Amino acid sequence: MKTPTFRQRVRYDVGGVLPDDLQDWVLHDLTGRGSTPRYLARFLVPLVAVLLLFLLFPGPNWIAGLMMLLIFVPVVYFASALHLIYRAFRLGQHGIDAASIPRATPSAERDRKTYEANYRHP
């Protein structure tokens, strides 16, 4: 699988579109193993850098810490909640049909079949 250059990778990380010959890499990056931690890292690392500016405010550091926490917690919550929507958007940007990616994991399907077998009403 062809990987992007450093310049292409930086552009991709800030929302740019990669060339068509890198679609396999994009598909793996957005849907492969570890895609959720990569997504959260791309989203939260720049935010943490900006939030550290709160430490420059005068006053006790615990107040700055609470201000950072007041912003960080909802951002993590909404970023996690919107992960699948953002993934579908990024796949669409690269010309990959997001509907072709299976959303249910094999373990979830197995759990559903077990549930239906145990608790199905006639």
Q: 81-121: per-residue pLDDT in tens?
A: 999 899 999 999 999 888 777 666 677 788 888 888 889 87
SS3 17: coil
Q: What is the pLDDT of residues 22-63, one digit of tens each?
A: 999 998 999 888 989 999 999 899 999 999 999 998 999 999
By the 8 A CB rule, do 119 and 113 touch?
A: no
- Alpha-helical runs (H) found in 32-105: 35-51, 61-81, 83-93
Quote the pLDDT of residue 17: 93
Q: What is the pTM of this model?
A: 0.72
Say how many C-beta atoms besides its own lie within 10 A of residue 79's C-beta: 16
